[in-house]
A and B are shown apart, each in its own frame.
Chain A
């Protein structure tokens, strides 16, 4: 019995010790599936440059990330959508003050199977397809074949973004809810009748799928999300900022990591992973949130303010 007690005490001590080691300086990043690859890459590079720091990046969806931030279970919540009023209210009740940082720009890409002749759609057509009002490819200039809808689960920020900004209505009940961008891409590769939406970082340079060019109206013209110019000059109609939320203005390692993400090196990784670097207006917005003084002309786009982020 005594021996049992001793071993139990030892085990408890071990667990306590481990959890303490974990808590120290480990930055927990959680949320968006769209952001997970790029933030993981950023974290790897950052940790390589700053030995001794630890950043853990996990997925689960934007809603899951924000819920974790509200419940103080993570330091940084990745989110491909804006925080909802209800979530802010819940956070405030728990003494959490969400602050938003924009880390990348996404051009939400509509993808179809490589054998599907449809290569352009209007925003209205996409809305009709996902609301279930258009259910055959022939109605949008394709073959006579039913449309199979692939989308994300309701904990996904991309699911919400589509609904609020593209469809402006509720999803068809025929929607297949997939567990992430990669799963949608896999499904579309196999399904000749499928349509899906993914972050542009997941759609580029892939065999077996076609990226649809999208028009706000046919008069303005159809634009591809893969061409950076279309996205930077705002011609591609479904772009969105990819966000990170922190509790209050980030401090210590979390802050340093965010500054790295916003630096020229960080933004280069963002572009390498297939997304787009944030424009000046969002850099200014971020500077404001982070409380960095912004002196026009004293630094170039994406360069960190002196002394804050150092290699």
Chain B
């Protein structure tokens, strides 16, 4: 008896430790980003860093400059663009899977959607160069297709699995009584879906899209390959853009350690971390509120 209780305690402790590891890693990463970033702000003013659009740390003919405003704008542009594409598609698919599709179709489509999440980002980036880019160039009569729109389309594809499966869960957890009441009042199946079920699941769907967006903002390789990486402030979705993640990925490999440039890259990482943290937190709050409402 004593032995099995000890075992139980051990296992309890082990899981507690596992839970703790995630927290420690998160706090550790945050602490690292903050301590490294602080050194950057000894030489760069915070407002200049955030709101000037001139980034050229390796300049040799002029003074080096460290402004990430165009990268912040580019990052949001690509991610919001992705959301605009992925949201209708994702909700549509989720509604189809939860309400329209037969069990057989659902069994085939769902795993396929989940496989989509497993495609490496380099592969999707490559498709952006050889497939999406030329199509964009043809459709919009531009000379090339390496632009924000290309990035948005690819990121939409990558965010779709998250949005679809979470939205489907949300739609499924709408109480059956809602649907029955609506149908009993004479509403068609379409009306029930659009006017009752989707509004009831809205907070879950919003949370799903926020998580999808969080993924889009942090994505690196795909945007690096497909968006053209031009520093200039984008004026439209057909301009090349340079996102924060691309800059870190390109420059961190060769930057001399412990220089202002090195610290500035960590500062970009910190800005990125704060953005995704806020997005995830908001989606978490919405999700919790939604759980309460349903109960």
Q: Which residues of A contact B (CB under 8 A)?
A: 1, 60-61, 63-64, 66-67, 70, 86-87, 90, 145-146, 148, 153-155, 160, 163-164, 168-170, 173-179, 183, 186-187, 190-194
B143 near A192 with CB under 8 A, answer yes
Known: A70-B256, A155-B250. 8 other contacts (CB 8 A): A60-B253, A67-B253, A154-B250, A176-B229, A177-B250, A186-B130, A191-B137, A191-B143
A61 B229 Cβ-Cβ under 8 A: no
Q: Is A170 touching B59 in the complex (CB atoms < 8 A)?
A: yes
Chain B residues contacting A173 (CB-CB under 8 Å) are: 54, 230-232
CB-based nearest B residue for A179: B225
Query: Closest A-chain residue to B56, C-beta based?
Result: A170
Determine the distance from Cα of A187 to Cα of B231 in the docked complex, in whole angstroms: 18
B115 beta carbon closer than 8 Å to chain A: no
Main secondary structure of the interface of B (DSSP, over half): loop
B81 at interface, CB cutoff 8 A: no
Residue B220 is within 8 A (CB to CB) of chain A in the complex:
no
For B10, what are the chain A residues with a Cβ–Cβ distance below 8 Å? 1
| Chain A CB within 8 A of B52 CB | no
Q: Are B231 and A148 in contact (CB under 8 A)?
A: no
Partner of A177, one of B129, B229, B256: B229
**In the docked arrangement, what's the CA distance between A169 and B143, Å?**
26
Residues of B within 8 A of A (CB): 10, 54, 56, 58-62, 129-130, 133-134, 137, 143-146, 224-225, 228-232, 240, 242, 250-251, 253-257
Closest partner residue, chain A, to B58 (CB atom): A154
B8 CB to closest chain A CB, in angstroms? Answer: 13
Instruction: Please name the residue on chain B nearest to A188 by beta carbon.
Output: B144
Cβ-closest chain A residue relative to B55? A173
Q: Is A194's CB under 8 angstroms from B231's CB?
A: no
Establish whether residues A61 and B253, one from each chain, have CB atoms under 8 Å apart when the complex forms. Answer: yes
What 8 pairs between A and B have smallest CB-CB spacing? Answer: A63-B254, A177-B229, A155-B254, A173-B232, A64-B253, A193-B143, A176-B228, A191-B144
Q: List 21 A-B contacts (CB under 8 A).
A: A60-B253, A63-B253, A67-B256, A148-B144, A154-B58, A154-B251, A155-B250, A163-B61, A169-B61, A174-B230, A174-B232, A174-B240, A176-B229, A176-B240, A187-B144, A187-B146, A190-B137, A191-B137, A191-B144, A193-B143, A194-B144
